[in-house]
Amino acid sequence: MQAAKRVYIHVIGNDFGNLFLDFLSSLKEQTLQDFQLAVVDNATLEGAGSLNERPNTVVLRNIKKQSFSRCHNQLMRLALARWQDVDATDRFILITRPDVILSPKTLEHLVSVMEKDPKCGLVVPRLLRAKITFVEEGERHEFDLTREELSRGYALTRGRRIIPAEAKEGEASLQPFAPTPHAFLVRAAALKETGLELDELFSKVPAVLDLAWNLRLAGWSVGEAPEATIWLEPYQESTRVPACMHLASASAVDEYAEWRLVQTKNDTILLRVKHAPWILGACGLFLLRLTLRPWNGFRFLQKLSLYAKIRSKRRKRERSQVPSREIQERWFI
């Protein structure tokens, strides 16, 4: 039986397009080769193709399409099971996408941050824009890896607004509160000791924010590796600010309601009272945007029906020790 690798790279294959081969090529060029690729074939029509023939790849197949959280939880459980008899403090999981390009030292830089701080539970890489043009389907015309920064993760304001952590012109970058769902490294020991997973009640952005918040409450920190660069073609989705911070479209309303539930699950009551003016201001801004599309208000109420389940999860966490209010207050800008 093959020995368990030090790093597991987890991706969900909703569409194994042209960029997947470039992703695999970038993995071959990594200076740290002690890794295993694990892929969820999420009910795709074309399937994972020749991945079955690769000795360093694990492929799980879903007959029905599953959520971001459920797919990655499947892979995380598999990785933790393989690391059952080894020291999990030196084992890591990179959650990313099958259409990104990693610089040759990405894994090395991410793991290096973990090695320097044994209480670091998550590491945020630096996402850069890849400009890709196709002449026709299946034929690449141009492939340009730019230095344009897309994301260094998310920061949180006192109003619980999610903002980009990357630097504006003439300013220092903010300390990321949480990574984006597109790419981050998590320490296996942090998941093993806390029993945490991505919450399957949430879509991908709230689920990742919830995981980062939970790990912080359990005493783990979130680090940053700006030298670990990953290129991404953003398509139509925003990598800088999640949908819930935009106009009140149906997806934004769903995500905003889930983000409110993440706060209910993790936030400290005393801090929310202290930050009440900022929080009320942010809520008022969202309600103002919601008036542009009032029919989406029903979606908001439907999502809030999960409140009882969220309160139950909060009560379980309240029995465990959490950082002091002073430490938690440093997480907000």
Quick one: pLDDT at residue 240? Answer: 62
| Model pLDDT, residue 43 | 77
Nearest to 55 by CA among 114, 111, 1: 1
Q: Which pLDDT value is given to residue 310?
A: 83
pLDDT recorded at residue 320: 62
Q: What does the pLDDT read at residue 236? A: 47
CB 24 within 8 A of CB 35: no
* 8 A C-beta contact, residue 221 and residue 178: no
pLDDT, mean of each 10-residue run, the chain (333 residues): 81 76 91 93 68 72 91 95 92 94 96 96 94 65 81 91 72 83 96 92 93 94 95 69 64 82 89 91 81 73 77 68 81 85
- The structural domains of the chain, with segments of one domain joined by +, span 7-242, 250-329
Specify the pLDDT at position 239: 61
User: Which tokens go with 24?
Assistant: 């695999």
- For residue 139, count CB atoms less than 10 angstroms from its CB and return exposed for 0-12, middle for 13-18, buried for 19 or more: exposed
Is the CATH number 3.90.550.10 carried by domain 7-242? yes
Contacts 24+ apart (CB under 8 A), 89-92: 89/118, 89/187, 89/188, 89/189, 90/6, 91/4, 91/6, 91/7, 91/8, 91/187, 91/188, 91/189, 92/6, 92/7, 92/8, 92/185, 92/186, 92/187, 92/188
Q: What is the pLDDT of residue 13?
A: 82
- Report how far residue 72's alpha carbon sits from residue 221's, in angstroms, rounded to the nearest whole number: 21
pLDDT attached to residue 1: 44
Strands 7-13 and 35-42: parallel
